[in-house]
Amino acid sequence: MAKSAKKNSWVLTDTSKRIWVESIELNASDLGVSGAAGIGIRKYTLRGGLSDGVDIIEVNNGVMSFTIMPTRGMGMLEGFYKGNRLGWTSPVKDPVHPKFVHLADRGGLGWLEGYNEVIVRCGLESNGAPGTDMVPNNNGVPSPIALGLHGRIANIPAHYVEVRVTGGKEPELCVTGIIDESMLFCPQMRLMASISTKIGSNAFTIRDEVTNMKATAGELELLYHCNFGEPFLDKGARLLVPASDTAPRDARAAEDMDTWAVYKAPTPGYVEQCYWHVPLADAKGNTVAMLENAARNKGVAIRFNVKQLPCFTQWKNTASESEGYVTGLEPATNYPNDKMFERENGRVVKLPPFGKYLSEFVTDVYDTTSGVRKVEQEIAALQKAKPHKVHSNPKRGLSRGA
């Protein structure tokens, strides 16, 4: 290895060793890679407003860039691929430090105080709608607790953060963070989250390893809320997902079953619609879903494995631009119903003592007709395995009360 003498990893935070790097800027030369201008990794801390104290890591592979927020559970704030923005325009304008987020407020919807990411993890104890769960209290007696929308992980800062470049012919930039969602008498989960991208690539990979830190069994719910607005979402944009079943979450979603795949223009007063998809995959479990614009020349594809992430939710929220014109593509271990319902339906992951759960998915971005067409064909091929049953009404076992 020619570059063995060169530094290829930088620890930016390690609370156990009292390491904390205020800011750093690594260019192509520092990283030992070559390619387009702009390649690099930058870390800095935001000041002022609701962002005060939020750490940001910018990664640029030469054609694609994205920003990771160690302070917000290693979520991805936004990305850019050749001028196309990956993200949406939330009513929440700035990245929000968790100190300003009150998860339990507003009937468990306080999570929305900080919600504006392109990709945000929902979990780890629970995700989905607020609801009551029954868990053993400190006396071992099952007791009710209120679980808020989408859990805690997005509002816990990483205690370990590292950036790295891997060598070889296709060098890769990688950001890794470790986050504990853990307290006495409660779940103790450790998330090791890595986000990586190859130099010059149109894709990035999120690879998460969750460890149950207890000597007793644990539970996990994990959902990736991948949110896109313009230019991938526009009037006539479509979601393509190979599926055996698609069902509306509720009566509101059932109103438009004939157009579940198609998106409207920004519509003031639009009320969200959610669809549950049961994805089809190849023999190895691999599958792909894609959001493509109306012109079918821009698309963003989510490639995941149904052995890790068997559920796929589509969130349509084509409200006005000022209110958040957005759709969510959500590969997950479960559907974002309340946790008791998901547990009843066998969709809560059981982790043995010290057990691990691996989940990995790739986000590809396309800005040409041919690129988009190729993924369309992949999805069509996967669909051939089984007919796609589109349910008119909420389906038993997928929606509470159906």
Q: Restricting to residues 268-307, which ones interact with a copy of itself according to CB under 8 A?
A: 268-269, 271-272
Single out the residue of 90, 176, 308, 313 in contact with a copy of itself (rule: CB under 8 A): 90
Interface positions, 359-398, toward a copy of itself (CB under 8 A): none
Q: Sign of dihedral through CA atoms 196, 187, 128, 398?
A: positive
Reduce the DSSP state of residue 17 to 3 states and report it.
Answer: helix
Q: Quick check: 104 binds a copy of itself (CB under 8 A)?
A: yes
Separation CA 63–CA 265 (nearest Å)? 29
Separation CA 397–CA 173 (nearest Å)? 41
Strand partners, 151: 123
Distances in Å between the alpha carbon of 396 and those of 25, 253, 272, 273, 401? 52, 15, 21, 18, 7
- Angle made by CA atoms 26, 225, 55, in degrees to the nearest 5: 30
Single out the residue of 3, 85, 164, 214 in contact with a copy of itself (rule: CB under 8 A): 214
Separation CA 74–CA 92 (nearest Å)? 18
* Piece in contact with a copy of itself (CB under 8 A), picked from 1-9, 11-19, 341-349, 383-391: 11-19
- Residue spans of alpha helices (H) in 53-192: 105-108
Query: Cα-atom radius of gyration of the chain, to the nearest Å?
Result: 21
Q: Sign of dihedral through CA atoms 69, 157, 354, 347?
A: negative
Interface positions, 127-186, toward a copy of itself (CB under 8 A): 136-140, 143-146, 156-161, 180, 182-186
Q: Which is nearer to a copy of itself, 118 or 240 (CB)?
A: 118
Q: Quick check: 401 binds a copy of itself (CB under 8 A)?
A: no
* Piece in contact with a copy of itself (CB under 8 A), picked from 57-65, 94-102, 255-263, 359-367: 94-102
Find the shortest distance in angstroms from Cβ 139 to a copy of itself.
6
Q: Which is nearer to a copy of itself, 137 or 368 (CB)?
A: 137
Find the shortest distance in angstroms from Cβ 368 to a copy of itself.
32
* Piece in contact with a copy of itself (CB under 8 A), picked from 99-107, 193-201, 202-210, 334-342: 99-107
Q: Dihedral through CA 371, CA 373, CA 378, CA 379, nearest 10?
A: 120
- In this structure, are residues 317 and 272 in contact, taking their beta carbons and an 8 Å threshold? yes
Separation CA 306–CA 324 (nearest Å)? 29
Q: Sign of dihedral through CA atoms 230, 233, 236, 237?
A: positive
Find the shortest distance in angstroms from Cβ 300 to a copy of itself.
21
Find the shortest distance in angstroms from Cβ 46 to a copy of itself.
7
* Piece in contact with a copy of itself (CB under 8 A), picked from 23-31, 193-201, 213-221, 301-309: 213-221
Separation CA 176–CA 185 (nearest Å)? 28
Single out the residue of 1, 4, 5, 18 in contact with a copy of itself (rule: CB under 8 A): 18
- Angle made by CA atoms 39, 114, 228, in degrees to the nearest 5: 55
Residues binding a copy of itself: number (CB under 8 A): 74
Q: Which is nearer to a copy of itself, 269 or 346 (CB)?
A: 269
Interface positions, 30-89, toward a copy of itself (CB under 8 A): 46-53
Find the shortest distance in angstroms from Cβ 249 to a copy of itself.
9
Find the shortest distance in angstroms from Cβ 72 to a copy of itself.
12
Q: Which is nearer to a copy of itself, 91 or 236 (CB)?
A: 91
Q: Which is nearer to a copy of itself, 104 or 295 (CB)?
A: 104
